Structures are given as C-alpha cells and as structure tokens.
Chain A
C-alpha cells in the first residue's frame, strides 16, 4: 500500500495581506507561507492508515516558499519520503489546474494505491485539485472525505454531504480523495524531531516539465473588499445600548 499526499503552501493570514503593484496577486515578497490546513488533515489520515496497515507514505509538494519546513515536518511525523517538484516559478501563484497537472505528471511515474489531498485551500475554494487529479489520471475520486477504511483491494470512504448527512461509498483502488477531516487532529512533530529530520533525511527534487500548456485564468484585478456603509455605532451605557439594540431588532421585525 503506497499513499501519496499532495500538499501545498499558502500565504499565512497572521500577517495582513497586501495586493502587489500590478493589482493582480497578493504581494508574495512580504508574507510567510504555511501548509494548507486541509492538506495537514490528509497527511494525518495517511499516517493513521500507515499506523494501522504498514502502508508507506510519500508527501509531494510544488516548490513554494517555506515548503521545506512543511516537508520536513511531514517526515518528522512519520512520512517515508518527501518529494519537491520543480520546473515552475516558485515565487508565483500556481493555479490549481496547473498544480494538478504537475502532480499528475509526477504520479504518472509512481506506483501508488491512494492519493490524498485537502478538500480545498484558500486559493482553491472550489476544491478542484482532487477532482482534476482523478480525471487526469482516470481513476475514481471522492471529495469532502471524513473517514477512510481499507477493505482489501477497495476503499470505503465516508463523505460529508449537505444537511448533516454522511454518505458511505466504496471505491476501487487506486483512487484520489479530497480530505475534509482526518479521524483525529493532526499529530505533533516536536521541533527536536523536525530538526533531526533536517539532518538525517533528504527531500527528493524532481523537475516537471509540462508538455502541453495548461489553460490559465488571467487575473485582471485583485482587490480587498470595498467598504460599504451601513454600520451604526451605538454609544452610551450598556443598558441604553441594549435597549437600542432591542428597538432596532423590533423595528426590523426580527424579534
């Protein structure tokens, strides 16, 4: 059983994002990057499966800012191998379609049973990565996965559906899953472990050159939400403010 986990780096929202000079992207020079939290859940699910069934886990990510830290942390947590894909501009935004093709091109030379990735990311709120990977590789795909169970050569997955429903379905392996949540919270890799991994393990680099150009979305303008009126600040004592709030809610017919 070989599981590949695809991870990506995103701008860390602890710092205020700024728009670059062209007004087409965030300013990537001044932000820190962290791994996508749903990818962390995908990694945790892969490592949990490994704990249960002696699978091997490969983590793959595109060369992006601070990606080494993410990959070494994955190794420290128990991943067996970490691969960094190069061949693109590491400081630019890679659109999800191109990301999928780069990862698919890596997977074309790999023997794998399962690919896990986060169901979505801040730059992929539609959750396209897992779907495009599945169709490119021509293998089954499931999204919003909240539980994975191996049953011989197939896979039983639980998916969160609308209205509080969970659907359980079976997929043939190999398959691609977009993970919403792992069975447990992502485990901790102590800094001592991460530092050990940096000294004793290597990140494998593979260059990917895409033969066909990927259709690209061109961003014409990126901007922060424009301010709109409508906010009223209430002042006075807590009691007065509370009375005022009740009056407003009543006048709008809400209570």
Chain B
C-alpha cells in the first residue's frame, strides 16, 4: 500500500552550476559537478537552541533533543503515512524554529509508541507530546473539539458527555444479572471496569452485554461500579490533561476503597494501561487485567456450541500490544473459536498500525482531517480488507465505531467489525451466524 499524505518535495540545497570567485584575486573556479556544491550557509546556523530548551525543561520533554536524525521513526509512524509528520521531522522542525506549543502538529501524535520501539536514542514522544500539550492547555491553546471532551469528562466522568446515572443502562439488554456494587457491596472476585465506550456507545454496549454473558456462563464472580464508575482518563492524560487525570484518579481510588475485589478487568486497553503503569506511580496498586487476558486464562473452560465460519484478521490495540506487551491472549481466543481462520495483516503485533484513536485522536477527527490524506482507521481497514478477511476483530472499545465508519467510507462494507467478546458470545451460544 503506497505512502499517502501531502509529502513535501525535498529542498535541494546543492547548486547545479557553481562558480567560486576569489575575494582577493578575483579569479574564478568552475566547480559545477564537483562533490560539494552546497555553497549557501546551512539553515541550522540561522536558529538557536531555545526551542529545544523550552521543551527539555518540562518533565517528560527531555528526550526530544536526544534525536540524532537517523529517521528510523518516520516510516513506522502511522501518522506520517497519511501526512507529513514523524518524530524525526518534528525534531527537525523544532530545530528550525517551529513553536511546537502553538502548532497543529502538537495534536496529531496518537502516542501509539511505534517510534519509541525503533528509536536508538529513546526519544519518547509518549512523554514529550503530553508534556508540551499540558503547557499548551494551561495557556488555553486547545482544539475546540478536544476542549469539549475535556469539559465533559470533568463534569460527567465520561468523554461522551452522557448522564453518569445511566452508566449501567446497558445491563438491561444483557439477559444475565449484572451485580452493581453500590446495591450489593459483598466482596467480589472480578471488578468489571466497563469504561466509557462499552458503557455508552451502542456498539460498545453490545460487546459489554456479550462479555457479561460470557462471564456468567463461566461462573465468574463479577460486579460493576455502575453510576459510581468514572473513566480512568488515560487518553485525556495523554492528550495533555494531567490535572483531569489526577482529579479522576482521586475519585476512582476513593470509590474503589469502598469495596473488596481481587482484580480489575477492563475491556479498554487505555484504562488497562493507566491501572498497570500510571496508578502505581501515584502509589495505587491494583491487579489489572485486560478482558482478553482473563478469558484466555479460562479458555479450556469455554464450551462452544456452534462455529463461526469466517476468515478473521485481528487489529492489535496499541495500548494492549506495544505498550503492554500482550499479543497472545486475543489470538488465543480467536484461534479457539471453531471455524475461525486467523489471517495476519502485514502490520501486526509489535509493528501494528494505529487506529488513530489514542492520545486524544479519538476526539480530534475534524481537526486532524485538515492535515491527513485519510484517517488512520481508513488506512487500517483497507489493510484488513486486503487480507481477504470477512471479520476485522478488535479488542479495544474505541475501535468498533472507528473501523465501522472507515469500512463504510472506504467501500469495504463487506468487512464486519466485531469485538472478540461478541465473537466468543456468538460461538458459545450457537447463534445462527452467516457472513
């Protein structure tokens, strides 16, 4: 698949024909065709180091200037494939005067982490971007669509601006009993942390219902927080709202302290990342699992009543795979479903492409559309369709809506986008299933 985006043509600084004139004797030398004809001053000498100094002064911003320009990050950057981006390019542009704090580029990074994977100098854009964004936000510089999400999250505890009291409305359609801890505070084994998109998005709710049915059929002792649950806010943190993240964390920890549970299981790799990597930094340690890990650990107990005859390809969520090293659990589940033929996309596992939703990208669709030739989700859906798969399986609540939209907009309506929980549920209940 070709590289897209609005690439800038390289600037040629070597002269085709050049004559050097001695300032003393006036004698002329024709150096046309010689090895070095770069006779103009190098552009770098026009700029100071103030741009880097300001970023390096921030906690998390230190590593941008470590870059020595190898460029390995550029071809693996998902954003660069559809626009003019890439950490190396950002480094270069800061070097030549870009005010990153006020630039549109600041909001384009999805913090997918593929650049850090290949970077020999450990330039950590997952820390650099949030640090710079935090300053920009404090100065009031924030894309309007993102501002609304932050305000909603602060006010309602969810990014969608939905009624907090209706957070567990999805349980009505689950056909199994879902215990809400506020009503029944007995100790529980698994605290199912539903997170925003499984709580409120219609397609997410279907996956939540499927997961609740699976847990019930496996006799897992589980419960939810219901209206007491608030988002863990990891994407808001990466979009630059550390204060909001911390405020949410205080509320979450307070609610969690009321109940006894063994482990937290969440479908959201972003929330999973927060519980696993960020909460401990603040002294809050919980045993956190992604739902695919819990189910994979019980795979021998899952009884399938039917088959799901389909070619399936799987999209590794950045925050499950690259950020937290889990590639096997979702595949183990998919391969266990009778009838499933798993096909891998060219970009998978460590080198998986990003859906575009991370690091605030979920809420910057309009803003980023000004800068990219297509959505990351659209490119990913085309990659999925190229495998010949019938189903694009996902394990992150952001993705169903992103990929379903992308399947429509790229003319790949035949590609069904399904959460792994939905697929397991279908095969376990032997529902009629046709492609």
Contacts and interface: CB of A to CB of B under 8 A. Distances in A.
Contacts of A32: 155
A15 interface: yes
A188 B247 contact: no
A34 B155 contact: yes
B243 A195 contact: yes
B367 interface: no
Given A14-B161, A14-B162, A14-B163, A192 B140 contact: no
B142 A188 contact: yes
A14 B140 contact: no
A219 B94 CA distance: 63
Contacts of B242: 192
A16 B142 CA distance: 31
Given A14-B163, A15-B165, A193 B144 contact: no
A191 B161 contact: no
- Size category of the A interface is 10 to 19
Interface in B217-262: 240-244, 246-247
Given A34-B155, A193-B138, A188 B147 contact: yes
A194 B243 contact: yes
Nearest to A15: B163
B299 interface: no
B154 interface: yes
B274 to A, nearest CB: 16
A13 to B, nearest CB: 10
A191 B147 contact: no
A15 B166 CA distance: 9
Interface string A177-219: 0000000010111111111000000000000000000000000
Interface of B: 134, 137-138, 140, 142, 144, 147, 150-151, 154-156, 161-163, 165, 240-244, 246-247
Given A15-B163, A190-B142, A190-B241, 16 more contacts: A12-B155, A32-B155, A188-B142, A189-B140, A190-B134, A190-B138, A190-B140, A191-B150, A191-B241, A191-B244, A192-B242, A192-B243, A192-B244, A193-B243, A195-B246, A195-B247
Interface of A: 12, 14-16, 32, 34, 77, 185, 187-195
